[in-house]
Structure 1
Amino acid sequence: MALAIRAQITTTHLNLNFKSIIKRSQNTRIQTKPIYHSNPLTHLVFSSPMSTFSAVKGSSVIRSSLIDPDGGALVDLVVPESDRASKRTEAESMPKAKLSKIDLEWVHVISEGWANPLRGFMREDEYLQSLHFNCLRLKDGTIVNMSLPIVLAIDDKDKEGIGASPDVGLMGPDGNLVAILRSVQVYKHNKEERIARTWGTTAPGLPYVEEVISPAGNWLIGGDLEVLEPIKYNDSLDHYRLSPQELRREFDRRQADAVFAFQLRNPVHNGHALLMNDTRRRLLEMGYKNPILLLHPLGGFTKADDVPLDVRMEQHSKVLEDGVLDPETTIVAIFPSPMHYAGPTEVQWHAKARINAGANFYIVGRDPAGMSHPTEKRDLYDPDHGKKVLSMAPGLERLNILPFRVAAYDTMEKKMAFFDSSRAKDFLFISGTKMRTYARTGENPPDGFMCPGGWQVLVKYYESKQAEEAGQQPAVLST
C-alpha cells in the first residue's frame, strides 16, 4: 500500500492558464487530475475520473455532481418504508447492543453516505487500515481516505449476550430499536493504541476520549448497517440536516458549476464572511459562472465550552438575514458528525465527507479541528499542519484545497480585513475564546467584527446561561 500511495502523491501537478485555453477553444471540455493540490485555484477545471464538467466560457454543461462519491454510488442504508415492519420484527428476536447518543450520531453519518463507501461500523481490517494508514484500499485497488476509525464499542456483558449470533439489534439511547448490524465481527478494543494514533498523545483531558472512549467497553463490533428509519433529533433543526443526496440535488437545482465547502463549529464573524466571499470572487474570476457556498457547521458532539448548535444555527441565520452572505449563493446545512478535536488527522475526515456531499473545493483554515493542549499552555497541533496534510493526504487527490487567508480586525479601517504584515501593528486578532469572553461579559467587540443581529444572538445566549448558572447556586443563609 505504501508504494501505491507514494506513486499517487508524486504525480505531476498540472497548472492550466485560463486565457490560453479560451483562445484555443470556446467549447473544448478540459479534464485534469490534479494530485498535489495545495493551491487548487491555479486549476481552471477539475474532474474526477468518472465525471466531468466545464468552466470554459460558452459551455452549456452544468452539473452539481462535480466530484463522484468515494467508491462510486452513495450508500443509503435506511430500510425502505415498506420493509420496516418486518425488519423491526426480525430485530426484536436478535441479541441487542445499546447505542450512546454519540454512537447514534455515527449511525446517522454512516447511513447517509458521509463515510462512503463504508456500509457499517468498521470490522477489524478496516479499523486497522484507518488507524494506521488513514485510508482504506477497496477491492478494486482504489484508495479512499478514512482518517478516523468509525467503530462501535461494547462491554463484556454485551459480548457474552451476542455470543455466536451473526446479527445484532441496536437500541437507541431511549431504548427504541434503531438498526440491525449484520454479519458482525467482535474484536479487541485497544484504547491506548487508538487514542495515541488518533490524537498523537494520551494526555488526560481530550474531550472525545473522556466522553466516548475511556468509558467505553473493551470490545469493538463491526458489521453492515440496516437503519430502520431515518435518524431524527426532533430539535427543530432537522430541516437543516440535509443528506449528501439531498445536497447534491440542491446543487443541481441551483445549477452550481462549483461547490466550495466551509466547516466551522463557531459563530460566523465578518472575517469568516470575508474569506468566503473572497473565495467566490476568485472562482468567478477563474471563469466559473455560479459557484455555490456550502456553509456546513458541525452538528454532532462538541466540547462543553463550544457554543451549542441551536445558538450557532440561529446566529448563522442572522448572518444571511443581514446580507453578510448571499442567501442565493449559500446553502446552510448541518454536518452530523461528532467532533474529535484531532487536528490534522480529523481534518482529513472533514474534507473527505464533503466529497461525498458533492463539494469539489474545500476551505481549510488555521489549526483546523485543533484545540489547546489539555495540560500545557500551547496548541496541541502545529497550526499549519492541517492544510499541509490535506495537500498530500492519500485519497483526497480529487478535492481542491483552498488554504485559509488570515483575516483580522483592521483598527485603521474599522473592519475585518486580510492581514497585512507590512503594518502588523494595525491589526487586532480576536480568537474564538476572546469572542466568547466579550459575549459573556457583555462587552461589545469592535464595530465591524460581526453583524449586529448575529452578535445579539450570542449576547442573549450568554445572558441566559449566566442566569441559569446563578439560579443553580445554593442559597446562602445568614444568621
Structure 2
Amino acid sequence: MAAISWATLHLKTPTPSLHFRSLPKRHSISTPSLARIRASLIEPDGGKLVELMVNESEKASKLKAAEQLPKIRLSAVDLQWVHVLSEGWASPLRGFMRESEFLQTLHFSSLRLHDGSRVNMSVPIVLALDDAQKTRVGSSSAVALVDDGGDLVAILSDIEIYKHNKEERIARTWGTTAGGLPYAEKAISGAGNWLIGGDLEVVKPIKYNDGLDRFRLSPAQLRQEFERRDADAVFAFQLRNPVHNGHALLMTDTRRRLLDMGYKNPVLLLHPLGGYTKEDDVPLTWRMKQHEKVLEDGVLDPETTVVSIFPSPMHYAGPTEVQWHAKARINAGANFYIVGRDPAGMAHPVEKRDLYDADHGKKVLSMAPGLERLNILPFKVAAYDKTQSKMAFFDPSRAQDFVFISGTKMRSLAKNRESPPDGFMCPGGWQVLVEYYESLAPASNGRLPQPLAA
C-alpha cells in the first residue's frame, strides 16, 4: 500500500453549488470583498503562537530539576492535552487552566486577555488530581508530569490547586448530566476531586509511534506549509468518520466559491480528529487507511490540499465543542471553517433523540465571542441522489430521490458487509471499512455484500 501523501487527488465528478446560510455581517461571505483578500495568514489568538516545548539546551537542567519534584502520572487523555497545549493549538493558553481560566471557559466560552480583548475557549483543558496526589504535592510550587512508564514529559510550575466540581463541569459543557456521556465517563466522572493548573514546559514531545506521526503537523508546521504553497486563504474541514463523496462535494465546492470571491489560491486543510473517540467510532489507524484509498482514487487536488491529524480528544459536546474545533484551526492558520449538520453532536445517552439541535452548531459559531475573525461556511445537507447515482445537496422539492446515509448507517452497512450505492464512496475506501469490521468479528457469516435498497 502506498504511503499517504499530505495531499489528495482530483475529484472526477462535477459538483453542485454550495449554499451558504445567511450569517451576521462579520461572517458573511456571500458578497466578494477584495479588501478582505490578502496573502498573509490569519494571526493566532493573542497575536502569537504559544509553543511550550523546552529548548534542547535546557533539557538536561529541566530533567535534573524534575527529580526533586512531586510526580503526577498522566492518563492517555491527559497526554493528548499536553500535546495540544505544547504545540499551541490552545494559544494563548500557556498550560493547564488555573481556576480563573476554568471558570471563564465554563461560563463565558472565552478568555479575557490583558488588553481586554477576548479569545474563544469553550472546553476546559484541565488536569485532575485525587486526594492522595494533592497530599503528595503539598506546598510544592511545581510538579513533574510523567507518562505511564514514569518518564518525564513536562513540568507544571507556579501551580494552583482548586476544587474539581464535576457536576458543574459536565452540566456546563454538555447541557446535561445524564449518564453515558463518553468523554465524561472516560475522563471526568472517575477523575480526582481537584484540578491543578500552571505554566507548562514540555520536555518530551508527544509521539504515538503508530506510523501516523508524520501526519501530526503542529500549527507552526501547517503555517509553514500554507506559506510554501502561497495560500491566500485556508479553509478547514474536520471529520471523525471515514471520507465519503459527500464530504468531497463539500470541500471541492467550497474551494470553487472562494475562487469566485476573488481568492487566487485557497488551500484545504483536511483535518481528521486524532485524539480520544468513543468506542463505536472507527479508530484513527483504520480511518487513515480508508483516507489513503480515497486519495488514491482521486478525490481532491494534491496541489491545494494538506492532510494532517488534529490531536485533540473528542468531547461530543455539540455547539460548545465546535467552538473549540474552530478556534484551534485559527491557530493553525485557517480563516475559513466548514461546519455541517450537528457538528460534534451525538445521540442522547439515555433518550431516543439527538442530544443537540442539528442547526445550533453553525448558529453558535456565527455568534461566538472570540471567533469574529473566522469565516464560518455552513452548507446544505449532502445525500445520495438516486437519479444521478452520486452524492448531491438535498433538494426538498424532490425528496423522494434522495437517500440519507448517516455515519451510523454507514457503519451498520460495513458491519453487515453490505455495499452502499455506487457513487457514495470509492470501492477501495469502502473495502477498508469492511475489513475493519471483519477484524472485530473474524468469523464470516458467509453473506456476500448486497447493494443498498433504493
TM, length-normalised to structure 2: 0.91
Check the 8 A contact 1:299/1:336 in 2, yes or no: yes
Given the alignment of the two structures, is residue 318 of structure 1 paired with residue 307 of structure 2, yes or no? no
Quick one: percent identity of the two aligned structures? Answer: 73
Q: What whole-Å deviation, never above 9, does each CA across 1:130-188 have from its counterpart, x for those lacking one? A: 01000000111110000001100000001001011001000112321100001000000
Counterpart among 28, 39, 50 of residue 39 in structure 1: 28
Check the 8 A contact 2:273/2:311 in 1, yes or no: yes
Given the alignment of the two structures, is residue 261 of structure 1 paired with residue 250 of structure 2, yes or no? no
Indicate the residue corresponding to 2:12 in structure 1. Answer: none
Does the residue aligned with 1:210 lie in a helix, a strand or coil?
Answer: helix
Task: After TM superposition, give the deviation of residue 44 of structure 1 in Å.
Answer: 2.5
Higher alpha-carbon Rg = 1
Check the 8 A contact 1:320/1:326 in 2, yes or no: no
Counterpart code for 2:419:
N
Counterpart code for 1:307:
V
Q: Give, in whole Å, the separation in 1 of the partners of 2:163 and 2:356.
A: 29
Q: Tell me, which stretches of 5 or more residues in structure 1 are unaligned?
A: 1-33, 48-52, 55-61, 471-479
Task: After TM superposition, give the deviation of residue 466 of structure 1 in Å.
Answer: 1.1
Q: What whole-Å deviation, never above 9, does each CA across 1:355-375 have from its counterpart, x for those lacking one? A: 000000000010000000000
Indicate the residue corresponding to 2:284 in structure 1. Answer: 309
Q: Give, in whole Å, the separation in 1 of the partners of 2:399 and 2:28.
A: 25
Given the alignment of the two structures, is residue 153 of structure 1 paired with residue 128 of structure 2, yes or no? yes
Q: What whole-Å deviation, never above 9, does each CA across 1:361-417 have from its counterpart, x for those lacking one? A: 000010000000000110000000000000000000000000022110001111101
Task: After TM superposition, give the deviation of residue 457 of structure 1 in Å.
Answer: 1.1
* 1:186-335 correspondence runs (5 A): 186-335=161-310
Higher RCO (CA-CA < 8 Å; seq separation 6+)? 2
Counterpart among 40, 52, 69 of residue 44 in structure 2: 69
Task: After TM superposition, give the deviation of residue 45 of structure 1 in Å.
Answer: 4.7
Check the 8 A contact 2:121/2:323 in 1, yes or no: yes
Check the 8 A contact 2:145/2:155 in 1, yes or no: yes
Counterpart among 84, 105, 109 of residue 134 in structure 1: 109
The RMSD of aligned alpha carbons is: 1.5
Q: 1:426 to 1:241 in 2, by over 3 A?
A: same
Q: Give, in whole Å, the separation in 2 of the partners of 1:45 and 1:368.
A: 30
Q: Which segments of structure 1 move beyond 2 Å, counting only runs of 4 or more?
A: 34-47
Indicate the residue corresponding to 1:451 in structure 2. Answer: 426
TM, length-normalised to structure 1: 0.86
Indicate the residue corresponding to 2:439 in structure 1. Answer: 464
Counterpart among 366, 377, 396 of residue 402 in structure 1: 377
Given the alignment of the two structures, is residue 388 of structure 1 paired with residue 368 of structure 2, yes or no? no
Q: Tell me, which stretches of 5 or more residues in structure 2 are unaligned?
A: 1-22, 446-454
Q: 1:116 to 1:285 in 2, by over 3 A?
A: same
Q: Give, in whole Å, the separation in 2 of the partners of 1:413 and 1:111.
A: 47
Indicate the residue corresponding to 1:100 in structure 2. Answer: 75
Q: What whole-Å deviation, never above 9, does each CA across 1:244-266 have from its counterpart, x for those lacking one? A: 00000000111111100000000
Counterpart code for 2:113:
L
Counterpart code for 1:237:
L
Counterpart code for 1:145:
N
Check the 8 A contact 2:27/2:372 in 1, yes or no: no
Task: After TM superposition, give the deviation of residue 468 of structure 1 in Å.
Answer: 8.0
Check the 8 A contact 1:277/1:325 in 2, yes or no: yes
Q: Give, in whole Å, the separation in 1 of the partners of 2:444 and 2:103.
A: 44
